[in-house]
A and B are shown apart, each in its own frame.
Chain A
Amino acid sequence: MNTIQTLLLRDLRRAWPLAGAWMIFAFVFFAYPTEVFRSKFFLFYEFFPIIVWGTWTVLLGFIVHDALPSGSSEFWMTRPISGRQLFAAKMICIVILCVCLPVLVMAAAKMLGLVLWQWLLDAEWHLSVLLIFPRLFMIALSLMVVASLTRNTLQYLLSLFFIGFGAILLTAKYITRITRITPYSEKHTAMQHPNLFEWTIVTMALLGLLFIIYRQYTKRNRIATLASCVALGIVLLGIWKMWPVIPLD
């Protein structure tokens, strides 16, 4: 416990300036009523999400790259720090800074926006803030896998760019064949129990990613991690394919 605490405090101390900057961006982004300001500050609203989520992505990479679970030259690997302890410390740090903090900032900003601008476009905003937690955690874990397999921030960001680009291409070309879901414009089917489907996917992804990251920190085997990621992707796509659909025609 003492080692986890030492590692966590060190990470929090190092990441605090970047997390603080992110908090300010995010607070401004979430607090202002988009619909009102978008017409006036078009450029600001076009680029602000990129700045907010870009900083968040860099923050996550910064936390992971400080002590990588791959390679053979990391400082922690020859110190009395086990992979398990490092995993626990990094996970707590990421949950605090990259999951809880965004949710808190979002909630605080929306509450402030509500008071300042009498803004309540989304009547169930408090529910949407809570529901974002597992989704944000899932995205954070996915980025953590990429960060743990890359050596520096540049490599990490480039990998994310190529993965994102590849995913868009794959989705555009093959997703209708794989999942039997027709494009929105020519929709002939609808998914049964869409909420259950989403939660199944999110839960499976969360459990799978946690296991993959834990294995990478304890076994430090990049090839096994990559293979596990591919396997998890196949399982999730399989669930998607098998999920019952209702014909709309």
Chain B
Amino acid sequence: MNIMETQNLSHTYWRTEAVRSLTFAIPQGGACALLGQNGAGKTTTIKMLMNLLRPTAGSATVLGADSRRLGPAQFRQIGYVSENQKTPAGMTVRGFLDFCRALYPAWDKALETKLLALFQLPPKRKLAHLSRGMRMKAMLLSSLAYRPKLIVMDEPFSGLDPLVRDELTHGLLELAGAGEWTLLISSHDIDDVERLVDRTVIIEAGKLLLDETLESLQRRFRRVEIFSPQPSPVTPPASCIACETNNQHARWIETQYTIGTEHTCRTLFPGATFSMHPMTLKEIYIATVKNTAALKGKN
């Protein structure tokens, strides 16, 4: 069952098409990364999913309800953390948590205490007087303590130092082990995101570029290096991107790697030395986006 689904979701700001016919789904219990360049439409997509913006076309369902009709019943099961969200600045951390606790019947006081200690938040300090990282931690705590079914995070790590990022990721991973939850996270810190997710959606200029499990991506993407003893022109296979070749040395990214790929390469380039390295999500993302930009440039 899909906990979140979009069908041709689109949004236009005045004359700018921010999101165009976006269709993807996140199954229950999955953790999905929404990746894309600045201005790709990630935040707009998340805002439409959270009923903060109205789609100009298409539709989305979240927890079985139309995103335009999301109300208190759904938000009791959704934890939303965003860098753009305003915090009730005049409240202390304790006051803020007391306020949030009254809104959620399923609030877990023990988990609140545990996360408060894990994030080292000062309960008596006002939210306005906290650093950006501390404020994000407070927002995350207030969004996790009721054990939401769905957690949506829009750039939660933006502008945070590596230590705070690591603490936030740890907090999330700890919770991931505690129960059934679904995560949608949009971030430019792909290395941190990779530890959390099992699925990736990449959008580019508002359009869906890729929607695949992390396992499948890492299985089919390989960085290939070939060294040929005799100078001869090397023509990489059609499934390759980011090709760099000179007489004896060639490098590219194989996008359809299988067990047979190595054998095919040996047949194509007899006598050459091969190395095929698995790639990280960050490398795959950069290669995919660069390739799309290059294809666009050619067209």
Contacts and interface: CB of A to CB of B under 8 A. Distances in A.
Interface of A: 2-3, 6, 10, 14, 66, 72-75, 77-82, 85
Contact of A74 (B51, B76, B86, B99): B86
Q: How large is the interface on B (under 10, 10 to 19, 20 to 34, 35 or more residues)?
A: 20 to 34
B115 interface: no
A80 B99 contact: no
Given A6-B99, A6-B102, A78 B72 contact: no
A72 B52 contact: yes
Interface stretch (B77-85, B198-206, B218-226, B229-237): B77-85
Given A66-B88, A72-B47, A82 B102 contact: no
Q: B51, B73, B80, B86 — which one has the most chain A CB atoms within 10 A of its CB?
A: B86
Nearest to A85: B72
A160 B200 CA distance: 48
Contact of B75 (A72, A73, A74, A80): A80
A10 B97 CA distance: 12
A79 B75 contact: yes
Contacts of A10: 99
B72 A80 contact: yes
11 contacts: A3-B102, A3-B103, A72-B53, A73-B82, A75-B87, A77-B51, A78-B50, A80-B103, A81-B103, A82-B71, A85-B72
B90 interface: yes
Contact of B84 (A2, A73, A82): A73
A78 B104 contact: no
B128 interface: no
B103 A6 contact: yes
Given A3-B103, A6-B103, A77 B72 contact: no
A206 B211 CA distance: 52
Interface of B: 47, 50-53, 71-73, 75-76, 78, 80, 82, 84-88, 90, 99-100, 102-104
Nearest to A72: B52
- Grouping DSSP codes into helix (H, G, I), strand (E, B) and loop, the B interface class, with mixed when no group exceeds half, is loop
B65 to A, nearest CB: 13
B80 A78 contact: yes
Contact of B103 (A14, A66, A74, A79): A79
A85 B75 CA distance: 14
A166 to B, nearest CB: 26
Contacts of A73: 52, 82, 84-86
Contacts of A2: 102
Contacts of B51: 77
Given A72-B47, A72-B52, A81 B72 contact: yes
Contact of A78 (B52, B88, B99): B52
B52 A77 contact: yes
A175 to B, nearest CB: 36
Q: B52, B76, B100 — which one has the most chain A CB atoms within 10 A of its CB?
A: B52
A75 B52 CA distance: 11
Contacts of B88: 66, 75
A66 B91 CA distance: 11
Contacts of A82: 71-72
B156 to A, nearest CB: 14
Nearest to B80: A78
A78 B87 CA distance: 12
Contacts of B52: 72-73, 77-78
B288 to A, nearest CB: 29
Contacts of B86: 73-75
Given A3-B103, A72-B52, A78 B85 contact: yes
Nearest to B74: A80
A70 to B, nearest CB: 11
Contacts of A6: 99, 102-103
Contacts of B104: 80
Nearest to B104: A80
B76 A80 contact: yes
Nearest to B79: A78
Given A3-B103, A80-B103, A80-B104, A75 B72 contact: no
A248 B2 CA distance: 76
A171 to B, nearest CB: 35
Contacts of B53: 72
